[in-house]
C-alpha cells in the first residue's frame, strides 16, 4: 500500500488486510498507525464494524479487558445473533480460543496437562530424531523448500503423534487448516471453504469413531473420555478442540521456524553471530517471534460493553482486532524496533498473545524451533537463500505472517 493509498483509505476491509500487497508493506503502514491512528476503522462485511489496534500498550490492555469477549453469544442476544456464515461453523468453533471464562477455563484444563514443562521436555529426543530424518532425505540434494520438506512435516509429525492421528493423513491438514484460517466473506470463497470444512468434519467423525472403539494413550482418546463424562466436553467441543490443536498447533510453529530461518538468511551478520555463539539460539527465537510474528492479527474479539479508547467510543458489538505484529514493532517498547537483533535484551514481545488466551503450545513451539534451527545450522553450515529476497512472497492471509515457500541451498 503506497503512501498515497494510505492517505486516501479511511476504512480497511478484510480483503485488504488479507492481501499479499498489504503483507509486503504492513510494517510501514503499522508504523504510521502507531504515530497517528492507533485505533483504525475496519469494515468486516457480515461481522460488521471493527477497529484495528496497533500500539503495544493498547494491545496489552485489550487482551486482558473483560469488556471484550471471544464468544459472540456472550455479546449478542438471541434476536441479534448473526446467521452462521458456514454450514459447518458450529462443529468447528466451540473451542477454547472462541470461549470466555468459565467455559475457557474448563476447556483449557482438559488439554493443558499435555503441554506441561515435563511432558514437553520428554518430546525432545523424538523431535530431534524427526529433524534428522527429514534432513537425511534432502541433504544429498543440496537444496530444499524449507516450508514443504522441513518446517511443516516436522511439526505435523509431532502434533499427529501427540494426538494419535495417522501420519498418512497429515497432508490433508494443510488444505483444511488454510480453509479455517483464511477468513473471507466473499461468496465464492465461503462456498469453497465450507466444502473443505465439511470434509474436515467428516474426517473428525470417522477418527473419533475409531478412537472410541480403540482408545489409546493419546490426547484425542483423553478428550473422548472427557466427552463421555458428559459435563466436561460436548461433541461439538470435542471436534472443535481437535481442530484447534491440529490447525493452531502446526500453523504457528511452521511460521516460526520458517520466519526465523528467513530472518537469519536476510541478516547474515546475525546468522554468523549465531554460528559463533550457539547459546544465543533461545534469544534468536524470541527475536524472530517479535520481528516476524507468526500470528500477525488476533482472532476477533466482540465488545460486550461500550468504552472509550483514544477519544473514540467503541460500541457494543464492535469488533476488535489486535495487530501483534505491530505491537511487537512498537518503538516505545522496543529500541530500534525494525532491526533484527538476536542479542536483544528485555524482549517483551506478545507473539503468543497475553492474558487468558496466551498460547498453550508456546513452550512446544519454542522447543521445536530450537531443535529445527540448531540441527539445520549444524548439518548444513553453508546454508543460504536461493534467489533474491525480493522474490520471497508472503501469503495473502488474514491471521498469519507466512511465506509461501523458502528455497534454500547448502
pLDDT attached to residue 169: 85
pLDDT (0 to 100) of residue 6: 42
The answer to whether residue 333 scores a pLDDT higher than 70 is yes
Q: Is residue 171 scored above 90 in pLDDT?
A: no
Does 214 or 89 have the greater pLDDT score?
214
**In 3-state terms, the chain is what percent helix, strand and coil (to 5)?**
60, 10, 30
Give residue 5's pLDDT: 42
pLDDT of residue 147: 96
- Per the CB < 8 A criterion, the answer to whether 368 and 257 are in contact is yes
Beta strands 407-409; 143-145: pairing state: antiparallel
376 vs 81: CA distance, rounded Å: 49
Q: Where are the beta strands (DSSP E) in 36-95?
A: 39-43, 49-53, 68-69
Model confidence at 92: pLDDT above 90: no
Q: What is the per-residue pLDDT across 22-44, written as a single tens digit (0 to 9) for each?
A: 999 999 999 999 999 999 999 98
- Provide the pLDDT confidence category of residue 237 given band limits of 50, 70 and 90: confident
One-character DSSP codes across 175-243: HHHHHHHS----HHHHHHHHHHHHHHHHHHHHHHHHHHHS--SSHHHHHHHHHHTSSS--HHHHHHHHH
pLDDT band at 8 (very low <50, low <70, confident <90, very high): very low
Encode pLDDT of 98-132 as tens digits.
Answer: 999 999 999 998 888 889 999 999 999 999 999 99
pLDDT in tens, 172-183: 887 888 777 765
Residue 72 phi, psi (nearest 5): -65, -20
Q: Look up cell 530461518; give the residue.
A: 261
Rounded to 5°, angle at Cα 299 from 298 and 305: 100
pLDDT per position as a tens digit, 359-402: 999 999 999 999 999 999 999 999 999 988 889 999 988 899 99
Q: Helix crossing, 281-291 with 235-266: angle to 10°?
A: 110
The reported pLDDT for the residue numbered 86 is: 59
Angle CA(384)–CA(389)–CA(391) in degrees, nearest 5? 115
Contact 92, 197 (CB under 8 A): yes
The CA distance from 208 to 197, in Å, is: 16
- DSSP helix/strand/coil, 361: coil
pLDDT digits (tens, 9 = 90+) for 195-206: 888 888 899 999
| SS3 assignment, position 312 | strand
Give alpha helix (H) positions in 37-76.
56-63
Range list of H helices, 277-394: 281-291, 324-327, 362-379
Work out the average pLDDT over 202-222: 91
Query: Given pLDDT bands bounded at 50, 70 and 90, which one contains residue 4?
Result: very low
Confidence at residue 131, expressed as pLDDT on a 0 to 100 scale: 98
Per-residue pLDDT band at 186 (split at 50, 70, 90): low
CB proximity list for 132: less than 8 A, separation 6 or greater: 375, 379
pLDDT band at 322 (very low <50, low <70, confident <90, very high): very high
Nearest Cα to Cα of residue 57 among 298, 290, 354, 316? 354
Give the model confidence (pLDDT) of 266-309 as tens digits. 999 999 999 999 999 999 999 999 999 999 999 999 999 999 99
Dist. CA 41–CA 277, nearest whole Å: 45
pLDDT for res 289: 98
Which residue segments constitute the domains of the chain, with CATH numbers given? 3-409 (1.10.630.10)
Q: How far apart are CA 134 and CA 108, in angstroms?
A: 32
Name the band, by pLDDT with cuts 50, 70 and 90, for residue 146. very high
DSSP-derived secondary structure for 256-306: HHHHHHHHHHH-HHHHHHHHH-GGGHHHHHHHHHHHT-SB-BPPPEEESS-
The predicted pLDDT at position 2 comes to 43
Rounded percentage of the chain residues whose pLDDT exceeds 90: 68
Lowest mean pLDDT among 162-166, 192-196, 254-258: 192-196
Amino acid at each position: 500500500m503506497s503512501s498515497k493509498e494510505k492517505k486516501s483509505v479511511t476504512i480497511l476491509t478484510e480483503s485488504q488486510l488479507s492481501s499479499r500487497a498489504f503483507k509486503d508493506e504492513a510494517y510501514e503502514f503499522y508504523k504510521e498507525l502507531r504515530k497517528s491512528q492507533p485505533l483504525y476503522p475496519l469494515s468486516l462485511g457480515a461481522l460488521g464494524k471493527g477497529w484495528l489496534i496497533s500500539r503495544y500498550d493498547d494491545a496489552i490492555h485489550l487482551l486482558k479487558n473483560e469488556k471484550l469477549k471471544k464468544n459472540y453469544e456472550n455479546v449478542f442476544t438471541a434476536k441479534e445473533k448473526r446467521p452462521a456464515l458456514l454450514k459447518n461453523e458450529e462443529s468447528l468453533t466451540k473451542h477454547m480460543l472462541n470461549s470466555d471464562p468459565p467455559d475457557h477455563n474448563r476447556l483449557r484444563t482438559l488439554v493443558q496437562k499435555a503441554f506441561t514443562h515435563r511432558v514437553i521436555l520428554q518430546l525432545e529426543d523424538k523431535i530431534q530424531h524427526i529433524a534428522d530424518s527429514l534432513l537425511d532425505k534432502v541433504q544429498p540434494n543440496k537444496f530444499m523448500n524449507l516450508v514443504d520438506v522441513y518446517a511443516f512435516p516436522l511439526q505435523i509429525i509431532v502434533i499427529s503423534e501427540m494426538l494419535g492421528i495417522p501420519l498418512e493423513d497429515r497432508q490433508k491438514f494443510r488444505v483444511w487448516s488454510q480453509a479455517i484460517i483464511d477468513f473471507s466473506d466473499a461468496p465464492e470463497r465461503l462456498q469453497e471453504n465450507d466444502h473443505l470444512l465439511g470434509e474436515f468434519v467428516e474426517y473428525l467423525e470417522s477418527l473419533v469413531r475409531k478412537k472410541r472403539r480403540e482408545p489409546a494413550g493419546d490426547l484425542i482418546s483423553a478428550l473422548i473420555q472427557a466427552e463421555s463424562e458428559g459435563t466436561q466436553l460436548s461433541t461439538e467441543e470435542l471436534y472443535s478442540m481437535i481442530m484447534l490443536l491440529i490447525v493452531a498447533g502446526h500453523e504457528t510453529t511452521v511460521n516460526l521456524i520458517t520466519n526465523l530461518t528467513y530472518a537469519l538468511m536476510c541478516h547474515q551478520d546475525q546468522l554468523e553471530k549465531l554460528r559463533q555463539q550457539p547459546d544465543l539460539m533461545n534469544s534468536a527465537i524470541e527475536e524472530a517471534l517479535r520481528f516476524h510474528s507468526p500470528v500477525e492479527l488476533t482472532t476477533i474479539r466482540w465488545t460486550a460493553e461500550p468504552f472509550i479508547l483514544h477519544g473514540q467510543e467503541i460500541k457494543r458489538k464492535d469488533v476488535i482486532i489486535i495487530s501483534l505484529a505491530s505491537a511487537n514493532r512498537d518503538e516505545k517498547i522496543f529500541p530500534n524496533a525494525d532491526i533484527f537483533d538476536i542479542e536483544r535484551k528485555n524482549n517483551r514481545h506478545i507473539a503468543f498473545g497475553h492474558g487468558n488466551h496466551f498460547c498453550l503450545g508456546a513452550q512446544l513451539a519454542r522447543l521445536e524451533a530450537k531443535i529445527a534451527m540448531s540441527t539445520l545450522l549444524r548439518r548444513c553450515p553453508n546454508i543460504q537463500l536461493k534467489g533474491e529476497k525480493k522474490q520471497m512472497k508472503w501469503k495473502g492471509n488474514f491471521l498469519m505472517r507466512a511465506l509461501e515457500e523458502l528455497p534454500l541451498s547448502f
